[in-house]
Amino acid sequence: MAIKKRLFKIFEESSFCLRNRYLAKNHILSKPQGLRFDINYKIQSDSIIRIPGGISLTAGSVFETEVFLKGNIIMYKNGALHTYLDEINPLFPRFRPSPNDILNQSVLEKLEDENIHITEDMVTWEFDHIKYKLTFNPLRLEGFYKDELIIAANSKSLMNFEKYRPKGDENNINEVDVNFPIKIIDATQLIEEGEGGYKNIGNIWSEEYLDYIDEKPRGPSSVALDFEFFNASHVYGIPEHADSLALNDTKEGSPYRLFNCDNFSYKLGDTAAIYGAVPFMVSRSPALKSAGVFWLNSSETWIDIETLPQSKHSHWISEAGALEFFLFVGNSPLSVIETYTLLTGPAQLPPLSVLGYHQCRWNYNTREDLLEVSNGFLTNSIPLDVVWLDIEHTDKKKYFTWDDEKFPDPTSMQEILAKQGRNLVTIVDPHIKRDPDYFVHQDSENHNYYVANNEGNSFEGVCWPGISSWLDFTRPEVREYWSSNFDYSKYQNSTNNLYIWNDMNEPSVFNSPEGTMPRGNLHGNYEHREVHNTYGMYMQQASYQGLLKRSQKKERPFVLTRSFFAGTQKYGAIWTGDNAAEWSYLEYSVPMHLAIAIGGISFCGSDVGGFFGDPTPELLVRWYQLGAYYPFFRGHAHIESERREPWLFGEEALRKIRAAIRERYALLPYWYGLFYIYRTCGTPVIRPMFLEYPEIEECASLDRQYLVGSSLLVAGITKELQEHVDVFLPQGRWFDYHTLLEINAGQQSFQVQEDWIPVLIKGGSIIPRKNTPRMSSKEMLADPYSFLIAIDSNDSAQGFLYADDTISHNYMSGEYILADIQLNDFKLSYNLTNTMELENNIDEIMIIGLSRIPNEMILDIKGQKKPIDFGVRNNMIVINISDITISQNWTIEFK
């Protein structure tokens, strides 16, 4: 792959990052020789007012009398502490993402007054085992779990809040970054005085990088704060980066950057920003206790991480916005992540069909081409649920339209796909072709729906259609308009079988700095720099609402987005963008997915086979084998790549790819249940090892193997001609998913098999499956269920089954099956905790690892007992039954 010219800024070109890093490096707590180095803040004790859940307050500099910040700090019964500080009477309003858009209001029950204690110099909140303490002077906020200090905000006094100021006011500029040794040059630049003269550390009114100048007419407005995680061995999160799962020290290098951008064929092992931004970080400690930070800011953000003797220290620096964040403490990293995910969720429960396999390409060029591909999966007996159309299906890149020559009669095409059990996905991007005859452009121009340039006119840039403008999705009325375009009357020839793909929504602008929207563009009263990282999320939200309204809220939407922010899980899936057909991208897909799942977004995947380039048959097969264990499972390719439908690589490759996809479909009941738990509890669908085993040091940095739920361990084959795969298995019993043989715990080296990758079942697990090969998930709906039971060292196992109608929202009103399945004391019990009428039978139960073979098995349904047949094969017990449905309670006693 050709080396790409650098398109994106580095931290040395970010003046607000340099200023705050400089302050962190040179900050001291005293005031020597009259020079003011401090950036300490204090809360005015006489400003404290008790409000529900906490306090309102004002704050300012320790060494100044001016008070210029106001806000509140509130604790909720879910254990989260919310802090919000803004300027008093600012020159310009600061953007704050609407809490209703980001936060799940149903979990925000405020703490009672009796749990909040206020004195003249501090406030404490205490609930259950969680405690937070705010000290006033200097300002410091600490989080405790069972009286152990876990996290502190402003622990090194790096809080900084750059006030808006008139340009040219040198007195105000002197206070800009509150007081470090500077010299003012023409009232524009901050210059450090040192040995060798003066050094530029950041122009505050404009910024140069690459060939661009970013004018900042409103001046500096950055906010910064540090968070220290005590007794933490590792910190994780802040996706999206193509880096290791455990975050690395950045003291001597580049900070991690959060800035949504079209960073195609992104560099691996790097802290650079790519398509999404979730400003959430969580810690892991040997003592199991954990803390998290959710930095609720949508502007460009840089994050430094440093390992200290007893802690991990992080420094968060954002270009604009208010100072707003949540703290979390808990008894494990998993509990913290669950609290955060429900706070920004809950996640969507997707239609079952979109958990199947998706086939995509830029582009399937005609109706005949698309249907031929769909028929090819039938001919070759490969399951498929969704086929996709990229930008070439439209009329001259005008979204919500069809190319009449390439795709005549799209309605009948979708009807044919529906009869095959398939859905169709079409792409709908945010750039709107400036064509006076295009209804979306007409509406947007007439109603002033576009993002404005810095002069207040509709911004014009270049993307796929040529000269384009972009809707301002940050405005509710624009989102409402966008949603209306998914109505059948506007998106003509669309059907309820059609889902949506939002691409290029960072937003991507071909002729603009860093390939995205100029930061000085206007969203009403706010500059684009303030709202940037939420743009794609707001677009996905509007598309989701459009599909919801289209069905009169009867059916669950599916919307894929490339750009994302905290809370995106409410609206659909994401993927890791334009990767490449190289082994290294296959390998890095795992830590990328795990970091995204930690950030609350479990419905994630990577383009199977790689987007750019042409995979070898070996690479493609290995990618399908691992992709079958991605939450979002889609093959996709660039327009210039060779066609890569599975049957084009020879019989051996076809056989292996078919087996991998069928493996995914057999496990759809397990995946679907995990997504239900994800929605209701916030538990990630895929999990790094440390989430299930936080006490095991070897698991803390493992990021090339992972867990699907808690029961399946997956390790990909990510090297060409690889002969062995090293896997670490924690103590307990483990079984090979493919051979069902028991595998010893500890560090294991697996001989590479051509037909599969290592997948292990954890002893003590019960996994629901459907074993009959079908061509789509819709064809499987009436099929019987089976259970694969792997026994632990106590002859026990547990699991659950979730089932519903797979498509409607009726599960929200109680129409679903949820069964608790337990094997204890040689009795297998199936107990419904919620039920609806579904007639699926249970046809097979396979038990591996039981310490003894029973002589007899007795089935009990409603007190009616009868013996049932079973067989033994290689120490595996197989129970074949046909008269039990998933809507009944039953037990099987082993005699």
In 503-558, the DSSP E strands lie at: 522-523, 526-527
Torsion, CA 609, CA 613, CA 618, CA 619, rounded to 10: -50
- pTM for the full model? 0.96
CB 127 within 8 Å of CB 115: yes
Residue 216 has pLDDT above 50, yes or no: yes
594-650 pLDDT tens trace? 999 999 999 999 999 999 999 999 999 999 999 999 999 999 999 999 999 999 999
- Strand 842-848, strand 785-790: pairing: parallel
Tell me the CA distances in angstroms from 330 to 47, 146, 626, one per residue in order: 31, 9, 32
817-858 pLDDT tens trace? 999 999 999 999 999 999 999 999 999 999 999 999 999 999
At residue 167, the pLDDT reads: 79
The amino acid at 295? W
At residue 162, the pLDDT reads: 87
Q: What is the CATH number of domain 71-161+221-344?
A: 2.60.40.1760
d(CA 625, CA 636): 15
d(CA 16, CA 201): 9
Q: Per the residue annotation, which of 142, 243, 506, 645 is the catalytic one?
A: 506
In CATH terms, are 71-161+221-344 and 690-895 the same topology? yes
The amino acid at 598? I
Residue 306 has pLDDT above 80, yes or no: yes
Residue 197 has pLDDT above 70, yes or no: no
At residue 30, the pLDDT reads: 37
Tell me the average pLDDT across 201-220. 84
At residue 201, the pLDDT reads: 56
480-529 pLDDT tens trace? 999 999 999 999 999 999 999 999 999 999 999 999 999 999 999 999 99
Q: Per the residue annotation, which of 87, 207, 300, 503 is the catalytic one?
A: 503
Catalytic annotation present for 703: no
Closest CA to 568 of 593, 539, 605, 546: 539
148-174 pLDDT tens trace? 999 999 999 999 998 888 876 544 433
CB 221 within 8 Å of CB 177: no
Where residue 126 falls (left for φ over 0; alpha for ψ -120 to 50; beta otherwise) is beta
Superfamily of domain 690-895: Golgi alpha-mannosidase II (2.60.40.1180)
d(CA 869, CA 878): 9
d(CA 89, CA 68): 8
Percent of the chain with pLDDT over 90: 88
Q: Omega of the bond prior to 496 within 30 degrees of 0, cis? A: no
Q: Which token pair is 596? A: 């995204």
Catalytic annotation present for 487: no
Mean of pLDDT over the chain: 93
d(CA 449, CA 441): 9
Q: Which token pair is 482? A: 């966008």
Residue 130 has pLDDT above 60, yes or no: yes
At residue 300, the pLDDT reads: 98
CB 125 within 8 Å of CB 131: yes
d(CA 314, CA 306): 6
Tell me the average pLDDT across 415-432. 98
Q: Per the residue annotation, which of 578, 645, 703, 843 is the catalytic one?
A: 578
The answer as to CATH 3.20.20.80 being correct for domain 428-557 is yes
641-691 pLDDT tens trace? 999 999 999 999 999 999 999 999 999 999 999 999 999 999 999 999 999
Residue entry with tokens 């800035």: 259
Closest CA to 217 of 522, 550, 541, 524: 522
d(CA 723, CA 781): 39
At residue 20, the pLDDT reads: 86
Tell me the average pLDDT across 30-51. 70
- Sequence spans of domains, the chain: 71-161+221-344, 428-557, 690-895
Catalytic annotation present for 506: yes
